[in-house]
Every structure is written in C-alpha cells, then in structure tokens.
Amino acid sequence: MKIDLRSDTVTRPTPGMLDAICKAEVGDDVFGEDPTINALEERAAKMFGKEAGLFCPSGTMTNQIAINVLTKPGDEVVCDYTSHIYQYEGGGIARNSGVQAKLLTGDRGRISATQVEESINQIFDWLTRTKLVSIENTVNKAGGSFYTLQQMKDLSEVCHRNGLLMHLDGARIFNAVIEAGYTPAQIGPLFNSISVCMSKGLGAPAGSLLLGTKDFIREARRARKVFGGGMRQAGYFAAAGLYALDNHIDRLKEDHRRAKVLAEAINKLPYIKELLPVETNILIFTLHDAIPLDYFMEILNDNGIQCAIFGKQTVRFVTHLDIDDNMIDKTISVLKKIN
C-alpha cells in the first residue's frame, strides 16, 4: 500500500473524472474557442459572484498574473510572511512585476484588518506605494488555518477605505468554505481578484482559475499569454475541473475528518514537540531532536508512507482524495512504533 501524504496535488483522476475528460468538447483557447474552458470560467465566476474567469495552468500563474495586473513596478503587496506568493513562487513578485512584498506576521498566517491598516505607507516620494493586499485561505504554511467571513469583511473594508486592492490566493478556498460554512458568493465581492486551484483538494490533474471583473480578466488574458500560459485544447483539463466542482467539494469534509483522526494520534506520540492546530486537511508537526527527521522519514518510507519536509525537524501531512481510512490506520500504527 502506497500512502502519499506529501500534498493534495498528488491525486490521480477518478474513473468518473477520466470519463468526463474523454468526453470533453475542445477548441483553441487562445482564440477563446474551447467550449469546456469557457464553461468552467463562467461557472467558477458565477459561483464567486464575479463577472469573468480565466483558466490558467497553475495557481502560481494565477497569483502572479493578479499581482502583475493590479500593481505597477515599485508598488508593494502586503501579505503574511508565510504566503505562497512570497515563499513558494520563486521570487515572482519581484521578478515578474518589479513589486516588493511587505511581510506581516499574522495569527497562523491570517493577517488582521488592524495590521493591514497600520502597514499602509503614507504618500511621500520616498515611500513605496502600498497597493495590494493578498491573503491566503486556507493558509498552507500555517497548517491549513482559515479566515472567518467577518475577518475577510474587515480586511476588505480597510482596503476599500484606503484605496488598496485585494487578492485572494484561494488555492484551497473550498476547504475553508466547507469548514467555515460561508459560501463562495459571500466571499467573491470582497476581493478584486481570486485564484482558485482545481488541482489541490478538488483532485483535477492541473489548472487554476483567476476570477474578477471583465476589465480585469481582459488584462489578465494578455498577461497569461505573455507569461506563456496560453493553452490550446486544454478543455480536457477544464472538464476535470467542472467534474471536480460537481463531485469533489462536499467530500472535502472526509479529508478534514481524516486529518483530525491523524492529529489526535499524533498529539499522543511522545516524540512530537508541536502539532499546529488542525483545522482542515493539513498537518504540520515538529519532532523532538531525539528523533532526527532523516530517521523518521526513513521509517515512513520503508512502510510506503511519504510526507513533505517543512523545516529542520518539521513535517507536513496532507489528506486528500486518494487517502482512505485504511491508510490513516496504517499510518498511525507506523507512527506509534517509532522510537
């Protein structure tokens, strides 16, 4: 039994998804002629109460396009220091858009309206122009924590009042939706742009959507082409995305339930220094020095279990579509034997 807990990106399409992929009608999306992509863009935009959508190869690209379109070189984007846009996109904020990041330290990755308001630069020639606020929901590097609707409303209100634009990195927004009980339609109006991944918990092989106004998406389409993300008959991927929206949102609660079962067991292990609170499908934990990370991973590996390294003694597990209850039981029994 192979148990891959490295990421929720490792899922293979289910038979139903593969069937949808095979039956997809496709066309050349650079000409705007792929009916399945058009349907997915429209569907996702409607869900979040936005005017339009843009299908892109990855969530890195949707984030980077949003930053590129919403800023000018020399501006700054305010975000938590754990943010994917800052940590895991190859320095793209600076490299692609000539923009700098102003890093805040939020509550497990969640920045507050007060923090944002205090971070805004005054208008002086020698100060960077504070232009964009980007939040992540759920927060990957902080262990899958999510924002409440009120927290997002407060942030939006501060941005609005101060003329700042707001981006949502919603790679795992449906995990937040399922757990927090708000709807995409409630979130949409709070942001200028929203990135949503089909290839994380939703289980599609690739693809992310960028959502916003028609004008914003027109500019984003240009940027996508410049970034090399104009795909042709990519409706096969979009078909997987549509299938995922129909079939794989509600089941995310299964992933959350399994993550909590794992968390309960991990919290009882004597060699765990800290497990971040588990709110959705991500577990981040740190081992005591007595159990070196290499040794820990070797034992897992010998038992067919894979995990991701998230620091010197820190590990990440992610539950997903291809992890079932048996795999959780097996993982727990292996973890218990380590000493």
Ligand X SMILES: *Cc1c(COP(=O)(O)O)cnc(C)c1O
Which residues contact ligand X (rule: CB under 6 A)?
58-60, 63, 84, 136, 140, 169, 171, 197, 199-200, 208
Closer CB to ligand X, residue 199 or residue 319? 199
Q: How far is the CB of 290 from ligand X (least distance, A)?
A: 31
**DSSP bridge partners of 37:** none
Q: Residue 332: CA atoms inside 13 Å, Cβ hemisphere, count? A: 17
Q: Tell the smallest beta-carbon distance from residue 211 to ligand X (Å).
A: 14
> For residue 133, which of 160, 172, 97, 98 has the smallest C-alpha distance?
160
- How far apart (Å, rounded) are the C-alpha atoms in residues 94 and 311? 24
Q: Which is nearer to ligand X, 120 or 136 (CB)?
A: 136
Q: How many CA atoms lie within 13 A of 321 on its CB side?
A: 22
To ligand X, the closest distance from the beta carbon of 333 in angstroms equals: 29
- 63 vs 291, beta carbon nearer ligand X: 63
* Residues 42, 7: Cα–Cα separation, whole Å: 28
- The minimum distance between CB 199 and ligand X, in angstroms, equals 6
Would you tell me the crossing angle of helices 214-226 and 59-70 to the nearest 10 degrees? 120
- Report residue 133: phi and psi, to 5°: -115, 130
Q: Which residue type is seen at 186?
A: Q
Q: How far is the CB of 315 from ligand X (least distance, A)?
A: 16
Distances (CA, A) of 150 to 48, 184, 200: 17, 14, 25
Residue with smaller CB distance to ligand X, 245 or 335: 245
CB of 125 to ligand X, least distance (A): 34
Our CB check for ligand X shows the closer of 145 and 291 to be: 145
Burial class (CB in 10 A: 0-12, 13-18, 19+), 182: middle
Helices (H), 123-183: 149-161, 173-180
The smaller minimum CB distance to ligand X, of residues 63 and 151, is found at 63
Q: Nearest residue by C-beta to ligand X?
A: 59
CB of 323 to ligand X, least distance (A): 17
Q: Which is nearer to ligand X, 29 or 169 (CB)?
A: 169
Q: How far is 68 from 39, CA to CA, in rounded Å?
A: 25
